[in-house]
Amino acid sequence: MPVPPGTETEYPRQRLGTLVPQGFTQEEFAVVRRLVEIILGEDLKRSSEKPAEGAPASIYDEVAEWIDLVVASAPGIRKLARSLPAEQRALAVAYFGSEEPVRHLETFECERVCHEGIAWLGEESQRHFAKGFLDINPAGQVELVRAISDVRPDKSAIHAGTRLFDFLKRRPSAGSTPRVPACESSITKETPSTANPRDAALRLSPSPMRVSPISCPALQKDR
């Protein structure tokens, strides 16, 4: 079905060929995709649901591709948020109930969080296993992710790795998709392209993914 010219709605388009990440390098995207797999849990691999033609191959791919879109769109979203006229910014503050979400849109650099976090993960992988993150075995990968997750022993330790995990767990997004039931997730998405570009800054508001580590066996504490 062709997209009507001049439409105010961003219609989904079937992807032709392999995804080319816009916010990450191919290697970074592969790391993000594996992190999504660990966070959401391995059970989804056994899902019998078949993706629609032209859709991502799995829920893991769908979530990773959405993260790539959010990261690639972030600089433009910040610019739009900062360009809101005073009266529209005041309306946004009233809509969210506080200034914090609006300031988050204006200042949060998720692309830096991701790039620095992925680099940190690579350095830790080399330090502990003398291999890159994607080259170590699944148990080693889970061990590293557990060390930066909500079940890490020292929750006061904040660094590039923990910020990456927190971002992946609390992706800036809005809307919803019913395809991600694991880990009590509220995975949400909405296309940032709208008729009024300033609306995009408001529609990509921060919304937690609410991953419960108790529901993710790979991230549970050893009992």
Confidence of residue 189 (pLDDT cuts 50, 70, 90): very low
Length of the chain: 223
Kind and range of the H or E run holding 169? helix 160-169
For 77, the domain range is 26-219
CA 170 remoteness from chain centre? 7
pLDDT at 40: 86
pLDDT at 115: 97
Helix axes 138-148, 26-40, angle to 10 degrees: 80
Question: What's the mean per-residue pLDDT of the chain?
Answer: 76
pLDDT at 215: 46
Please check whether residue 42 lies inside any domain of the structure: yes
pLDDT at 217: 53
pLDDT at 208: 38
179: DSSP letter = T
pLDDT 10s digits, 150-178: 999 898 999 999 999 999 987 633 323 43
List the beta bridge partners of residue 172.
206
Q: In the chain, pLDDT over 70 holds for what percent of residues?
A: 61
pLDDT at 49: 54
In terms of pLDDT, which residue wins out, 217 or 102? 102
- Quote the CA–CA distance of 129 and 85 in Å, as a whole number: 51
Please check whether residue 4 lies inside any domain of the structure: no
Please check whether residue 114 lies inside any domain of the structure: yes
Please say whether the beta carbons of 83 and 89 come within 8 A: no
Please check whether residue 20 lies inside any domain of the structure: no
Please check whether residue 17 lies inside any domain of the structure: no
Task: Tell me which of 5-19, 134-148, 176-190 is least confident.
Answer: 176-190
Q: Within 10 Å of residue 176's Cβ, how many Cβ atoms?
A: 13
149: DSSP letter = S
pLDDT at 60: 87
pLDDT 10s digits, 55-104: 556 788 888 999 999 999 999 999 999 999 999 999 999 999 999 999 99
Please check whether residue 182 lies inside any domain of the structure: yes
pLDDT at 43: 56
pLDDT at 53: 52
What pTM, to 2 d.p., does this model score?
A: 0.70
Q: How many domains does the chain have?
A: 1
Please say whether the beta carbons of 136 and 142 come within 8 A: no
Please check whether residue 40 lies inside any domain of the structure: yes
Please check whether residue 198 lies inside any domain of the structure: yes
Query: Which string of DSSP letters, residue by residue, matches 32-84?
Result: HHHHHHHHH-GGGGG--PPPPTTS-SSHHHHHHHHHHHHHHHHHHHHHHHHT-
